[in-house]
Amino acid sequence: MRFVDLDLTTAQGAETLQARLKVASRKVCGVGVGPSLNDRIDQRRCIAETEASGQRAMVTLVARAEAGERFK
């Protein structure tokens, strides 16, 4: 997932990154995987865990951007 085109020091840049994380987590975990209840539970768990991991990474990236670091 790319983010170098975003200014993470702005609310708009952070919101765009958040939206991209949600899309990416659904791509990684699949959408409507399997017909069983267990399959759907696994998918929701995967999405929640992936989004949480992405959120932690995002906090670090925003802090680094606010400290003046430029990403390539």
Section 28-53 average pLDDT: 87
pTM to 2 decimal places = 0.78
42: CB partners within 8 A, 6+ apart: 33, 34
Average pLDDT, the chain: 90
Residue 71 has pLDDT above 90, yes or no: no
Nearest by Cα to 8 from 55, 70, 56, 50: 70
In this predicted structure, what is the pLDDT of residue 33?
A: 61
